[in-house]
Amino acid sequence: HNPDLLQVKKSNDDANGDREAELSQLFSEEDEVKIFFETLDEELDKVNEFYGNRENEFVERGDSLKEQLGILLEFKRIHEDRRRKTSPPGTFSRSSSFSPRHSNFSENTESGEVTETEEAIAALERHGVTFVNGGVRGKTKKGKPKMALRLEIPATTPTRTISAVMGMLWEDLINNPKKDAAGDSINRKKIQWAEKMIRGAFVELYKGLALLKTFTSLNMKAFVKILKKFDKVANQKASPRYLQEVKRSPFMSSDKVVRLMDEVESIFTQHFASNDRKKAMKYLRPQQPKDSHFVTFFVGLFTGCFVSLFIVYATLAHLSGVFSRPNEVSYMDAVYPVFSMFALLSLHMFMYGCNLFTWKHARINYNFIFEFHSNTALKYRDAFLICTTIMTAVVGALVVHLILGLTGFSPAQVDSIPGLLLLIFVVLLVCPFDIFYRPTRYYFIRVFRNIIFSPFYKVLLVDSFLADQLTSQITLLRLMESAICYFFAGTFGTHRSEICKSGRLYWELAYLISFLPYYWRAMQCARRWFDDNDLDHLANMGKYVSAMVAAGARLTYSQQDTRFWFIVVLVTSFVATVYQLYWDFAKDWGILNPKSRNPWLRDELILKNKGVYYLSIVLNVILRVAWVETVLQLHKLHIRSVESKLLDFLLASLEVIRRGHWNFYRLENEQLNNVGKYRAVKTVPLPFRDADSDG
């Protein structure tokens, strides 16, 4: 064999191998580029499909809202004409009145004139309303009966319930011309609620259009960044050509959203803002309040003040001996109820602030779930500011009370300070001026009103949530009753507080206050069962009834210290506690599911660490059992009155902490599963309901 020939052959083989490797690498790169652009085309199709569906929904919603607004404007015109116009005799006759159930309209043959009823009908027909089968219905552009002119007002208050069941707005305005003042008020109330609902629907439509517009810009930016990254990695210049295709795609080229936004702005400015565009934009584009460093600063400032004042108070109280046996009874009667009440309230507000912080970081949309307005809802810093401000004011008042008592002021003057502090906070709660979170204060008052009149109000999640908080604040309510009794029964000054500690009235109030939170919550469950016909609500009501029985047994045992009542208290409290624990875990938290992919939890979890859930189960059981310690009354054995009250306060604080801990998982389960089955709608309900829709 020739060595030179072999060398040449080997070099040729190496060259061919390198060439094949280069070709295979080139083909591989081309395949990857092809796959990349195919994937990009698929994503572009998804974006266009989603955008097209949402755009069509918004366009249809806009058309529906314009129809609703036209009908509302005609009703308002008819109502105003009815109020201002004095009809001459003979204008209305029995033959000319229209009843949707029994007759059709006709002309007044005697006068030869068109009646006001016919004029109203003609006006409504201009907006697509016609009469079908003796009823009033809307008509689409194709002539299909569409809209039933029944004003649908949410029956969430007694007034709204009464107005909602009074019949059709059409009958009120057209069929009954001889209306009294009460009837006219009902008509006006209905029209106001219809206008409010349509205005809110326009606001929500505008928000949706703005979100869809943001969706467009974000996806365009995403395509730009992806293609730039591709050009850099693949060393090509494909982005300009592909971006031209993206810009020609429907989600970028369509201008329906922009035109509809302009139309909504024009309609809203004309009909809901008195042609004031600046006012209209405040509704359509509300400015989100910016996080202020001043809030954080004052939280730190008041925290430091509270700690400093508490140290001063503890030192002065120890040096003055106000907690010694001769003085402890009178001082605790005057000061302890007010201080403990505000301390428990501040602790609850602190736990709520912690809830807001954890919900935010866990991405739980609490504003949507509670139906809060995002521009007025409390943030966690605001909650911390409220609780630190309250505690600073309360401890400061206690220091002033102690100093004045030591400097020779009369007991009547000194003991009026805690009562004056309580009065100031009550006045501040109802203060009409826009200071210290007025929207939140008034919203709290409205929700509390809904709770008090629970059977008569449609129950929302925020109503049941706050009522649950009240069941953990029975001690606070008892302290409030004691403070009011002490300061407004003429007992301060002489320190004779026996009226507020014994007697038939005292025990009747004790039973009433212990029952009320559970009663309110039970009535909410009864109302929800009546509305939804779900037996789970009756089972939930049984939980609160068992708690009422246990609370009544404990109070009776405190009066009749017998073995029989001890056994009754033990049994009823044990049953109530087991009932509550089961409902906490199985219903409110949605856990204890043995078939879940997360053992004994639930399938969907927000927190990544499963151990937190198991730890929370143990903690909830411990805190529930710690609260049962009041049943056994072990803390009243051979201890002083001051120590007994402090132990009561400690147990009440543990219950508040347990409730704050419970709140997080309750709302987590609500977001994931809508366990409460509260209203969750995609669009805002409208006053004139589609006749083809369900319900």
* Residue 270 lies inside a defined structural domain of this protein: yes
What is the secondary structure of 196-231 as a DSSP string? HHHHHHHHHHHHHHHHHHHHHHHHHHHHHHHHHHHH
Q: What pLDDT score was predicted for residue 335?
A: 80
Length of the chain: 695
Which of 664, 658, 612 is closest to 357 using CA atoms? 664
Rounded alpha-carbon distances, angstroms, from residue 685 to 70, 151, 461, 655: 17, 11, 18, 39
Q: What pLDDT score was predicted for residue 111?
A: 43
Sorted by sequence, the CB contacts under 8 Å of residue 388 that are 6+ apart come out as 298, 299, 302, 303, 306, 346
Sorted by sequence, the CB contacts under 8 Å of residue 395 that are 6+ apart come out as 306, 309, 310, 313
Q: What pLDDT score was predicted for residue 289?
A: 66
Question: What is the rounded distance in angstroms from the CA atom of residue 186 to the CA atom of residue 282?
Answer: 30
Which of 470, 583, 452, 589 is closest to 524 using CA atoms? 452
* Residue 522 lies inside a defined structural domain of this protein: no
Tokens matching residue 389: 């401000």
Sorted by sequence, the CB contacts under 8 Å of residue 405 that are 6+ apart come out as 320, 322, 411, 414
Lookup result for tokens 């310690």: 629
256: number of Cβ within 10 Å: 15
* Residue 281 lies inside a defined structural domain of this protein: yes
Sorted by sequence, the CB contacts under 8 Å of residue 664 that are 6+ apart come out as 355, 358, 359, 362
What stretches of 472-562 show up as alpha helix (H) in DSSP?
A: 474-488, 504-532, 535-559
What is the secondary structure of 452-486 as a DSSP string? HTGGGSPPPHHHHHHHHHHHT-HHHHHHHHHHHHH
Question: What is the rounded distance in angstroms from the CA atom of residue 288 to the CA atom of residue 220?
Answer: 26
Give the structural domain span for 258.
29-82+158-285
* Residue 226 lies inside a defined structural domain of this protein: yes
SS3 488: helix
* Residue 536 lies inside a defined structural domain of this protein: no
Reported as type and span, the H/E element at residue 137 is: strand 135-139
What is the secondary structure of 595-622 as a DSSP string? TSSSTTB-S--SSS-THHHHHHHHHHHH
Residue ranges of E strands in 319-453: none
Contact by Cβ (8 Å): 105, 96:
yes
Q: What pLDDT score was predicted for residue 405?
A: 80
Name the domain count of the chain: 1
Q: What pLDDT score was predicted for residue 645?
A: 81
* Residue 65 lies inside a defined structural domain of this protein: yes
Tokens matching residue 192: 């106001």
Tokens matching residue 3: 């060595």
* Residue 532 lies inside a defined structural domain of this protein: no
Residue numbers of the chain with a pLDDT score lower than 70: 1-29, 85-186, 288-289, 291, 325-330, 488-499, 502-503, 627-641, 676-684, 689-695
Q: What pLDDT score was predicted for residue 108?
A: 41
* Residue 182 lies inside a defined structural domain of this protein: yes
Residues paired with residue 132 on neighbouring β-strands, in sequence order: 135
Tokens matching residue 422: 């309580």
Question: What is the rounded distance in angstroms from the CA atom of residue 561 to the CA atom of residue 559?
Answer: 6
Q: What pLDDT score was predicted for residue 580?
A: 94
Tokens matching residue 694: 């369900």
Rounded alpha-carbon distances, angstroms, from residue 475 to 14, 395, 431, 469, 488: 91, 20, 26, 12, 20
Residues paired with residue 135 on neighbouring β-strands, in sequence order: 132
- SS3 string, 342-369, reads HHHHHHHHHHHHHHHHHHHHCCCCHHHH
Provide the CA 173 distance to its chain's centre, in angstroms.
35
